Chain A
Amino acid sequence: MQDRCTLCGRRRKGGSKYCLYHQRAYENLKRAFERWRQALDISWVEFLKEVAGNPETGEWAREVAERLTERGLL
């Protein structure tokens, strides 16, 4: 289904490939990455792995992080 979020099947939001919630999680990831990079000099892929394994990470954020790692996307 073309108009669906690839992670959960909810309707997509605007031009995103995600729904409203996964899109928000994705944006939170991007914002958090800036702070991670300043904090400990880490690559995007390493960051995604760290976040995916962190128990404080929200489940939608984890889903996006895992998807991005699987695909090796930047």
Chain B
Amino acid sequence: MTGRTLVVCEKPTAARRIAQALDEEGSPEGYREQGVPYFIARRRGVDLIVVSALGHLFTVAQRGGGWTYPVFDLKWVPAYEADRSAARTRVFIKVIERLSRGVEGYVSACDYDMEGSLIAYTILHYICGEESLRKARRMRYSTLTDRDLVRAWETMPPSLDFPLIEAGRARHEVDWLFGINLSRALTLSVKNATGYYKTLSIGRVQGPTLNFIKEREVEIRTFVPVPFWVIEAETEIDGKRYPLEYKRRRIETEREALEIEAACRGREGVITSIQSKRRSQAPPPPFSLGDLQREAYRQFRYSPRTTLRAAESLYLEALISYPRTSSQRLPPSINLVEVLRGLRRRRAYADLAERLLSKPRLRPRQGRKDDPAHPAIHPTGNLPGKLSKMQSRIYDLICRRFMAALGDPAVRRNVDAEVDVNGHLFHLKGSQVVEQGWRLFYAPYIREEEVVLPALREGQVLPVVSLDAARRYTKPPPHFNPSSLLKLMEDEGIGTKATRTDIIDTLFKRGYVEGNPVRITDLGFTIVETLGRYCPDILSVEMTRRLERDLEEIQTGETQADAVVREAVEALKPILAEFKTKERLIGVEINETLRAEKLRANVLGPCPVCKTGEIRLIRNKQTGKRFAGCSNYFNGSCDTSYPLPQRGRIQATGKSCRECGAPIIRVIRRGRRPWELCINFDCPLKRRGEKRAG
């Protein structure tokens, strides 16, 4: 670096850390202009002007006017011009523009990934001019620790990472093309057909994702259970009961189940063989973002969004490495000993870290998945200050998982005794951990149970103290939850580690899905159903996957960004042309389904008083308040009515209260588990203080 250098960071917090790390004294001068923070650090006699973006300062917009479709002509504009909620980007652009005057060098120091690369690129391109792009260099780092930042500075490649930038640019342009055209097509179809205006939209990746949710919903709603039988048996040894597992988990016919029951009930069993095996359990690999999100959901019921936010704040505090990674590996470049020494200073980890440090060699368990830009999520070894409850839970999970990955295999001893009961084979199984290994580090998050069997010998006679052939039913597949939805997207190759969380969020925001477990709303159902009928390509996983692959190939230099954008336009053209010819039909249909569903949704159940009418959800036109009343009110024969909760969505359950016969409704509010209640305020069940009716 020769003269004054502009260092572009992604967020103000990151800018402060980077300025601190790069300043030789560790104390850069901090300034604030119109509320925009920036720093001046000095390094090797050069002034580094460290500025911050606010996420994306530039975005894609339509070139030319007209609220119509198709639109394929796009341009990049300052974010505040395209989006009113991005008003603050204006001052950031102004301040960066002023600070960049007379600057000789440029450095992109945004998070090292596609979005980060693009953020810095658009700032350089549209504020500092094309010339700056030729001079600019790229810092690559995975943690915001001083050590990593200085190393990233010292080893900067001489140019920007154009393949990543181009991939980012293409992704934004492609997503914009799909989003704007599909949204306008949907909205205009209803408006032109019925005059009714309702903003409807669907994105490139949201379509296929929503389609999966809808398909699952259809599977559940059309599900018919089938009976099967299980043999439930127990034996007793030294006053303690143990389950006996029948050799077949399922018995298909009642006749056979009853035969087994008759043959074995009241009999004694004899142990015919005992097998004892030691089984080694390898440590789990360190976390990728998806793994962390799933584990945090399993352990704490945190949504992927909550977990990502907590992880990002820990990253900005330089406590963990960059969380948006798909890697499950810890490369040799990470100084494991130093991280462990750091963790040792924290009382909760002191013993655990010491144990690992005293090992002759540290070899992490490596997972299968890798990421070209970042290692698996791991602690930096910096000591945390005060953390929120959420942060400290996520931090603990990451630290313990990291240590577990460095631990030895655990060893279990599994015992399987075969028990013969009148010619039928049962298993008496035990399982016990004999060597803790990595489990020691991950103990708070392991929930397996141990079954410790007493000493057994062949020929031992066991009493069968209970035995039943119990009827069971097959179950429908479960609804998705935020975590399983994420997994599905990963498995299907739709979206990226950086975008999946947002895509799921958008489906919620647009009202296409709700609740946890995730249920598709009538609106979501209608949209996806109509699109599926008239332009199935929009919902096709193949198209999404192909585009996803093309975008990857831009990063590796195999494909050009412009070619991918052109391809997207070519893919959209026939879809939109087709849509236009059927626009009226689609509009009428969406509108119709919306109305029919609305009507259907308004029926809460049969009227318990007159027995002929149905209780409907009614909105008072003057007050806007809702209540439930009998449909026979309109012909004057029944005036049954009930007050309703005013907040949240109300759904019929098809059930009636066992006590008073009034319909039971389900109330769904964002961020809460849906709950069911009897609609009748004076229901005797409620007066007795029972919460649930049904």
Report A's interface with B, CB cutoff 8 A: 8-10, 21, 24-25, 28-29, 31-32, 35-36, 38-41, 51, 54, 56-62
- Cross-chain contact B221 with A39 (CB below 8 angstroms): no
- Cross-chain contact A57 with B654 (CB below 8 angstroms): no
B206-237 residues with Cβ-Cβ distance < 8 A to A are 218-228
Shortest beta-carbon contacts, A-B, top 7: A32-B224, A58-B223, A25-B222, A58-B221, A56-B225, A40-B254, A60-B221
18 examples of A-B residue contacts, CB within 8 angstroms? A9-B600, A21-B222, A24-B222, A28-B223, A28-B224, A31-B224, A32-B224, A35-B226, A35-B252, A39-B254, A40-B227, A40-B253, A40-B254, A40-B255, A58-B223, A59-B221, A61-B222, A61-B224
A33 closest partner in B (C-beta): B224
- Which residues of chain A have C-beta atoms less than 8 A from B254's C-beta? 39-41
B596 in the interface, Cβ–Cβ < 8 Å? yes
Give Cα A8 to B475, complex, Å.
25
- Cross-chain contact B473 with A54 (CB below 8 angstroms): yes
A29 closest partner in B (C-beta): B224
- Cross-chain contact A21 with B223 (CB below 8 angstroms): no
- Cross-chain contact A38 with B253 (CB below 8 angstroms): yes
B228 closest partner in A (C-beta): A39
Query: Please, what's the 1-or-0 string for B453-489, where 1 marks a CB less than 8 Å from any CB in chain A?
Result: 0000000000000000000011110000000000000
Contact of A38 among B219, B252, B600 (CB under 8 A): B252
B524-551 residues with Cβ-Cβ distance < 8 A to A are none
- Which residues of chain A have C-beta atoms less than 8 A from B593's C-beta? 10
Q: How far is the CB of A15 from chain B (nearest CB, A)?
A: 18
B227 closest partner in A (C-beta): A39
Give Cα A59 to B600, complex, Å.
13
Q: How far is the CB of A56 from chain B (nearest CB, A)?
A: 4
Give Cα A39 to B472, complex, Å.
12
Contact of B253 among A39, A56, A62 (CB under 8 A): A39
- Cross-chain contact B474 with A8 (CB below 8 angstroms): no
Give Cα A57 to B475, complex, Å.
8
Q: How far is the CB of A13 from chain B (nearest CB, A)?
A: 11
- Cross-chain contact B224 with A59 (CB below 8 angstroms): no
Q: How far is the CB of B219 from chain A (nearest CB, A)?
A: 8
Give Cα A52 to B554, complex, Å.
54
- Cross-chain contact B474 with A56 (CB below 8 angstroms): yes
- Which residues of chain B have C-beta atoms less than 8 A from A32's C-beta? 224-226
B224 closest partner in A (C-beta): A32
Give Cα A39 to B224, complex, Å.
14
Q: Using A9-B596, A10-B593, A36-B226 as known contacts, say yes or no to A61 and B253 having CB atoms under 8 A apart.
A: no
B189-220 residues with Cβ-Cβ distance < 8 A to A are 218-220
Give Cα A29 to B219, complex, Å.
13
- Which residues of chain B have C-beta atoms less than 8 A from A56's C-beta? 223, 225, 473-476
Q: Using A9-B596, A38-B252 as known contacts, say yes or no to A58 and B220 having CB atoms under 8 A apart.
A: yes
Contact of A58 among B222, B252, B253, B473 (CB under 8 A): B222
Q: How far is the CB of A20 from chain B (nearest CB, A)?
A: 9
- Which residues of chain A have C-beta atoms less than 8 A from B255's C-beta? 40
A23 closest partner in B (C-beta): B222
Q: How far is the CB of A10 from chain B (nearest CB, A)?
A: 7
Instruction: Say what secondary structure dominates the interface of chain B.
Output: mixed
- Cross-chain contact B253 with A57 (CB below 8 angstroms): no
Q: How far is the CB of B550 from chain A (nearest CB, A)?
A: 33
Q: How far is the CB of B517 from chain A (nearest CB, A)?
A: 15
B589 closest partner in A (C-beta): A11
- Cross-chain contact A57 with B596 (CB below 8 angstroms): no
- For chain B, the count of residues having a C-beta within 8 Å of the partner chain is 23
B238-266 residues with Cβ-Cβ distance < 8 A to A are 252-255
Q: How far is the CB of B260 from chain A (nearest CB, A)?
A: 15
B586-625 residues with Cβ-Cβ distance < 8 A to A are 593, 596, 600
Q: A9-B600, A21-B221, A25-B221 are in contact. List 14 more A-B contacts (CB 8 A).
A: A8-B600, A10-B596, A21-B218, A31-B224, A36-B226, A39-B252, A54-B225, A56-B223, A56-B225, A57-B223, A57-B225, A58-B222, A58-B223, A59-B221
- Which residues of chain A have C-beta atoms less than 8 A from B226's C-beta? 32, 35-36, 39
Q: How far is the CB of A35 from chain B (nearest CB, A)?
A: 5
B219 closest partner in A (C-beta): A58
Give Cα A54 to B221, complex, Å.
13
Which of B220, B221, B254, B654 has the most chain A CB atoms closer than 10 A to its own CB?
B221
- Cross-chain contact A58 with B476 (CB below 8 angstroms): yes
Give Cα A9 to B596, complex, Å.
7
B473 closest partner in A (C-beta): A56
- Which residues of chain A have C-beta atoms less than 8 A from B225's C-beta? 32, 51, 54, 56-57
Give Cα A54 to B128, complex, Å.
68
Give Cα A21 to B220, complex, Å.
11
- Which residues of chain B have C-beta atoms less than 8 A from A40's C-beta? 227, 253-255
Give Cα A25 to B654, complex, Å.
17
Which of A39, A40, A51 has the most chain B CB atoms closer than 10 A to its own CB?
A39
- Which residues of chain B have C-beta atoms less than 8 A from A35's C-beta? 226, 252
Q: How far is the CB of B676 from chain A (nearest CB, A)?
A: 13
Give Cα A61 to B254, complex, Å.
24
Q: How far is the CB of B682 from chain A (nearest CB, A)?
A: 28
- Which residues of chain B have C-beta atoms less than 8 A from A9's C-beta? 596, 600
Give Cα A10 to B600, complex, Å.
11
- Which residues of chain B have C-beta atoms less than 8 A from A62's C-beta? 654
- Which residues of chain B have C-beta atoms less than 8 A from A31's C-beta? 224
- Which residues of chain A have C-beta atoms less than 8 A from B600's C-beta? 8-9
- Which residues of chain A have C-beta atoms less than 8 A from B253's C-beta? 38-40
Give Cα A37 to B225, complex, Å.
13
- Which residues of chain B have C-beta atoms less than 8 A from A39's C-beta? 226-228, 252-254
- Which residues of chain A have C-beta atoms less than 8 A from B223's C-beta? 28, 56-58, 61
- Which residues of chain B have C-beta atoms less than 8 A from A25's C-beta? 221-222, 224
Give Cα A35 to B253, complex, Å.
9
Q: How far is the CB of A22 from chain B (nearest CB, A)?
A: 8
Q: How far is the CB of B338 from chain A (nearest CB, A)?
A: 54
Give Cα A10 to B564, complex, Å.
39
- Which residues of chain B have C-beta atoms less than 8 A from A21's C-beta? 218, 221-222
- Which residues of chain A have C-beta atoms less than 8 A from B228's C-beta? 39
Give Cα A39 to B385, complex, Å.
63
Q: Using A8-B600, A21-B218, A24-B218 as known contacts, say yes or no to A57 and B224 having CB atoms under 8 A apart.
A: yes
Give Cα A24 to B654, complex, Å.
20
Q: How far is the CB of B175 from chain A (nearest CB, A)?
A: 31
Q: How far is the CB of B637 from chain A (nearest CB, A)?
A: 24
Q: How far is the CB of B665 from chain A (nearest CB, A)?
A: 15
- Cross-chain contact B222 with A28 (CB below 8 angstroms): yes
Contact of B654 among A8, A54, A59 (CB under 8 A): A59
B472 closest partner in A (C-beta): A56
- Which residues of chain A have C-beta atoms less than 8 A from B475's C-beta? 56
- Which residues of chain B have C-beta atoms less than 8 A from A59's C-beta? 221, 654
